[in-house]
Amino acid sequence: MKGMVIRLDKKQEMVPQELKDWLEETKDVKLEEMSEFFGARVEEYEEHMAPWKKYYSWMAKELPENAKEILDIGCGTGLELDAVFGRFPKMQVTAIDLSEVMLRQLNEKHENRNLHLICEDYFTANFGEECYDAAISFETLHHFTADKKREVFQKLYKSIKPGGCYIECDYIAGSIEEEELLLSECKRRRKRDGIPDNIFVHFDIPLTLEHEIKTMEEAGFEKVEVLGYLGENRTPMIRAWKIEGTVTILNISQMTGLTDRTIRNYIKRGLLQGNLIKGVWRFSKASLEAFFDEKFVKQGLEGKAAILVEHFLSDWKEIDDSLCSVYKLKINNDNSQKLCDELLEKINANNYRGMQFYYNFNKKTKIAKFVVTGLPEDVIDITKLLNTFRKQKLTQNSI
Ligand SMILES: C[S@@+](CC[C@H](N)C(=O)[O-])C[C@H]1O[C@@H](n2cnc3c(N)ncnc32)[C@H](O)[C@@H]1O
């Protein structure tokens, strides 16, 4: 029993007293619907947000230099766009917001810009596929749960061109206790006011930084970085990258020996999470790691290296002239990822006929194992890449 008391005390410390006081003071205040909330405050809105001005410029500065077309979700009156147009006067911008009055104000300010305004809910709006160099959002997503955010992040990921990024500046919860407290309080107030789940309300339910980043990664973003904080550490500027040339169904089939049909079936059943972009399924590293960690996949993979060699030694008839190479390399975690990326890039770029391969990195022994079978010249090509990698690694080690 004593242990429980200690835990409760600790839990309370994880939520600032100021927030607890505010929740207590406002506990009987009726929730306001999102679009009504902003619609009613449009007059004083820009003045209220004025302290953020230098951060809007910072966000604009973090956009890729060659960006020509961007998407802004929850743009409001477009304070971040004032900064974007300041740096990129010719930027082509698609901006989405629920509030018509906020958009009207934005339109008046930037009438002569290349601006496409959409008055819609960003959860239902179609963002398109690979059409933007970057996407941005400023102080808009902290009213939604992780599941809802993941939906938006997936659409953002899909809409950004490979090599592009999404920059977000938003509140975070200081602890998991705070995140849970705000979510449960929001649920309580919704229930009290009889507001259904599909109606958006203006009540902050931020995620912790870790949870926010994890949700972005789950949506497909391969690299997520915290660029810094706005003022005190409650508002990070996060940049999430969509890396070019990610893993495809063919790669998974080459790596696991599973057929295209079986893999598509796993996707349908939700066992493998992917993004369908321009008719091609793409998978993030995070979703692949989770998939390869599934027991049934692991079991299948364990025997794959031996099967490849055995197949080669017996009556492998698919290709007449063939070579089998088994390569073991001792490397660290970062290099393992780099090696896997380089191998996949090369394999995808060359579209080697009939090539089968197996790649595994054992985190404990730090040994990467690569087995490849295919046409001799193709296998030699891949083996050369492994050799180059080994030489680089040796050079690095000797510095
Ligand atoms: C705090 S304001 C931020 C506006 C602007 N990004 C800025 O920093 O000045 C949040 C905006 O998000 C919009 N918003 C909230 N939920 C939305 C949704 N589901 N779809 C579209 N817009 C939404 C609101 O209407 C509001 O204009």
What is the chain's pLDDT, residue by residue, as a tens digit (399 residues)?
333 333 334 444 688 898 999 999 999 999 998 878 887 788 888 888 888 888 999 999 999 999 999 999 999 999 999 999 999 999 999 999 999 999 999 999 999 999 999 999 999 999 999 899 999 999 999 999 999 999 999 999 999 998 899 999 999 999 999 999 999 999 999 999 999 988 999 999 999 999 999 999 999 888 899 999 987 778 999 999 987 656 788 888 877 778 889 899 999 888 888 877 667 787 876 778 788 878 878 777 777 778 888 888 886 666 578 899 999 988 877 777 778 778 877 887 787 888 888 887 777 888 888 889 889 999 999 999 988 888 876 655 543
Nearest ligand 1 atom to the CA of 49 is 9
Nearest protein CA to atom 11 of ligand 1, as residue: 74
d(CA 353, CA 355): 6
pLDDT of residue 398: 44
Question: Would the CB of 123 count as within 6 Å of ligand 1?
Answer: yes
Nearest protein CA to atom 9 of ligand 1, as residue: 79
Question: Would the CB of 139 count as within 6 Å of ligand 1?
Answer: yes
Nearest ligand 1 atom to the CA of 37 is 25
Question: Would the CB of 72 count as within 6 Å of ligand 1?
Answer: no
Q: What is the CATH number of domain 303-399?
A: 3.30.310
The DSSP line for 171-198 is: --BSSHHHHHHHHHHHHHHHHHHT--TT
d(CA 135, CA 64): 11
d(CA 308, CA 314): 10
Question: Would the CB of 34 count as within 6 Å of ligand 1?
Answer: yes
Nearest protein CA to atom 19 of ligand 1, as residue: 121
Domain ranges of the chain: 2-241, 247-302, 303-399
Nearest ligand 1 atom to the CA of 122 is 20
d(CA 26, CA 24): 6
pLDDT of residue 9: 40
pLDDT of residue 355: 84
Quick: pLDDT tens for 232-268: 778 999 999 987 656 788 888 877 778 889 899 999 8
Q: Is there a shared CATH topology between the 2-241 domain and the 247-302 domain?
A: no
Q: Which of 344, 70, 21, 398 is nearest to 62 (CA)?
A: 70
Nearest ligand 1 atom to the CA of 123 is 19
pLDDT of residue 1: 32
**Residue 132 host element (H or E):** strand 132-138
By DSSP bridging, strand 69-73 and strand 92-97 are parallel
Q: Do the Cβ atoms of 291 and 266 come closer than 8 Å?
A: yes
Question: Would the CB of 127 count as within 6 Å of ligand 1?
Answer: no
Q: Which CATH number fits domain 2-241: 3.40.50.970, 3.40.50.2300, 3.40.980.20, 3.40.50.150?
A: 3.40.50.150
DSSP-assigned beta bridge partners for residue 237 = 169, 228
Nearest protein CA to atom 12 of ligand 1, as residue: 74
Nearest protein CA to atom 20 of ligand 1, as residue: 121
Q: Which of 43, 93, 140 to mutate to test the pocket of ligand 1 (most atoms within 8 A of CB)?
A: 140
Q: What is the CATH number of domain 247-302?
A: 1.10.10
d(CA 273, CA 250): 15
Taking the CB of residue 144, how many other CB atoms lie within 10 A of it? 18
Nearest protein CA to atom 13 of ligand 1, as residue: 74
Nearest ligand 1 atom to the CA of 46 is 9
pLDDT of residue 201: 93
pLDDT of residue 356: 82
pLDDT of residue 358: 82
Question: Would the CB of 277 count as within 6 Å of ligand 1?
Answer: no
Name the E strands within 189-270. 223-229, 236-241, 247-248
Q: Which of 37, 53, 73, 98 to mutate to test the pocket of ligand 1 (most atoms within 8 A of CB)?
A: 98
Question: Would the CB of 235 count as within 6 Å of ligand 1?
Answer: no
Distance from the alpha carbon of residue 235 to the mean position of ligand 1, in angstroms? 16
Nearest protein CA to atom 22 of ligand 1, as residue: 97
Distance from the alpha carbon of residue 141 to the mean position of ligand 1, in angstroms? 8
Question: Would the CB of 33 count as within 6 Å of ligand 1?
Answer: no
d(CA 84, CA 172): 24
Specify the residue for token string 């190479």. 325
